A and B are shown apart, each in its own frame.
Chain A
Amino acid sequence: MIHTSLQKRNSDLAQSNRQLEFLSNGIFKNGDLPTFKSKLSETAQFPLKAKKLEILQINVGYMCNQVCAHCHVDAGPDRKEIMTRDTMLQCLDVIKNTGAHTLDLTGGAPEMNPDFRWFVEEAAKAGIKDFIVRSNLTIIRANKKYHDLPQFFKKHNVHVISSMPHWTQGKTDKQRGDGVFAKSIQALKDLNAIGYGIPGSGLRLDLVYNPSGAFLPGNQDALQRDFKKALLDDFNIQFHNLFAITNLPIARFLDYLIASENYEDYMYNLVEAYNPSAVSNVMCTNTLSVSWDGYLFDCDFNQMLELPVNSKVKHISEYNEDLLENREIVISQHCYGCTAGAGSSCQGSVI
């Protein structure tokens, strides 16, 4: 298990341009991989255009208490990038003035941002319909100061979406670190205890599953059934929905793919599973991603690859709905991850 970020290790792949180089030029022994652009063109879906903004995803920092092997953010305790209150204020301005129905806070572990609670309190006042916090669960148990997070979430009617790679300890700990499974189970129990995940409580708790290795996720409904049964039988834990997400070949997952010599096969698998009907629902078409320093991206993946939005508007402080709508989405080979099989987004499969 690796305990530091690529950045801390001074890895080549900590540089986004190095990752993009890999994705574009690859190391393919069996000929070139078709470009994502050419695939879109086959069904007249290029260029991919942004529709109306529905989801504002804000990444409040790359700091995390975990160092998961697959992390596309390259997050970890050694990452210091954190959103300031000033940038949060700029985000709040936008939240109040757009018609976006969903606010999605992510990281890193968003709870580790010192202004996280303040931001949640302020944002909750804006009356957003679906207010999501992406919690890695273990943060709730990491330190006394986080133990009351479930109550805090409840107070502001936050929709909690938590990552949980598997219902067994072995698979979970291998991907996310020793002891993560036990702490996650305890955190889920804490959340259940105050109503999160319990049918009819109105306190939404969804789990995110992503494969613990170089393979694609199976059928989301079947996985949800198995997760629900195992967590209920073994730990008496309940939750609402399971979102199955495909690992995108960037940052630490890309590093893993290359080191384990799975990169080439994985890319072929993604291309083979390319599903043109998933394209119209990829999340970048109705989402904007804001980085810790306020810059705008089509999605969290593009943010990590430092591919900014293709618009005059580059920063949240210059937000302009008219200029951003209908913009051309910036794509590259990693986008195959969103269109493989049933498709993949922050809310799981898209078809």
Chain B
Amino acid sequence: MQKTYYDPADLKKFSKISEWNETLGEKFFDYYGKVFEEGALSEREKSLIALAVSHTVQCPYCIDAYTGDALQRGITKEEMMEALHVSAAIRGGASLVHGVQMMNKVNKLEM
């Protein structure tokens, strides 16, 4: 067993996931491919969303893949960092907004 949980080389083996369940694997990759096609949003916009979400779900494979993808699309590092701050703001905001629940509870219980 390797001593680290993540190996960058594993990213390239992603498609092998289908080997143990072809039907579901193929359905996933079909869906994945369709999601990233140009639609109401451009492929470029989708790439930035993917990069931001990768950080939110903290997936090193996705961060690796979508940083490379963004560079290939000519996306600048300033744009990448801004997208990241959007995800960080939502993440931080999501914690903070639950504070209202805490405040409600405190207000209810306290004299």
Q: Which chain A residues have a beta carbon within 8 Å of chain B's beta carbons?
A: 166-168, 170-171, 209, 211, 213, 215-219, 222-223, 226-227, 272
Write the nearest CB–CB distance from B10 to chain A, whole angstroms. 14
Whether the Cβ atoms of A223 and B76 lie closer than 8 Å is no
Task: Give the interface segment out of B29-37, B52-60, B67-75.
Answer: B67-75
Which residues in A have their C-beta under 8 angstroms from that of B72?
211, 215-218
Whether the Cβ atoms of A166 and B74 lie closer than 8 Å is yes
A216 to B43, CA, bound (A): 17
Which residues in A have their C-beta under 8 angstroms from that of B42?
222
The residue that B73 contacts in the complex, of A167, A168, A213, A222, with Cβ under 8 A, is A222
Whether the Cβ atoms of A223 and B73 lie closer than 8 Å is yes
Given A211-B71, A213-B71, A215-B68; A226-B44 close (CB under 8 Å)? yes
Which residues in B have their C-beta under 8 angstroms from that of A226?
44, 73-74
Which residues in B have their C-beta under 8 angstroms from that of A223?
73-74
**Chain B residue total in the interface (Cβ 8 A):** 13
Whether the Cβ atoms of A171 and B73 lie closer than 8 Å is no
Whether the Cβ atoms of B71 and A168 lie closer than 8 Å is no
Give the dominant DSSP class at A's interface.
Answer: loop
A168 (CB) vs chain B CBs: closest residue:
B76
A166 (CB) vs chain B CBs: closest residue:
B74
A227 to B44, CA, bound (A): 13
Which residues in B have their C-beta under 8 angstroms from that of A216?
72
Which residues in B have their C-beta under 8 angstroms from that of A211?
71-72
A217 to B74, CA, bound (A): 8
B72 (CB) vs chain A CBs: closest residue:
A218
A171 to B6, CA, bound (A): 31
B47 (CB) vs chain A CBs: closest residue:
A218
B42 (CB) vs chain A CBs: closest residue:
A222
Which residues in A have their C-beta under 8 angstroms from that of B68?
215
Write the nearest CB–CB distance from B106 to chain A, whole angstroms. 48
Write the nearest CB–CB distance from A311 to chain B, whole angstroms. 37
Write the nearest CB–CB distance from B47 to chain A, whole angstroms. 9
Which residues in A have their C-beta under 8 angstroms from that of B43?
219, 222
A343 to B77, CA, bound (A): 26
Write the nearest CB–CB distance from A305 to chain B, whole angstroms. 26
A218 to B69, CA, bound (A): 8
Most buried by B among A171, A217, A218, A222: A218
Whether the Cβ atoms of B76 and A218 lie closer than 8 Å is no
Whether the Cβ atoms of B76 and A170 lie closer than 8 Å is yes
A80 to B78, CA, bound (A): 39
A223 to B70, CA, bound (A): 12
A167 (CB) vs chain B CBs: closest residue:
B74
Whether the Cβ atoms of A171 and B76 lie closer than 8 Å is yes
Write the nearest CB–CB distance from A308 to chain B, whole angstroms. 34
A165 (CB) vs chain B CBs: closest residue:
B74
B79 (CB) vs chain A CBs: closest residue:
A168
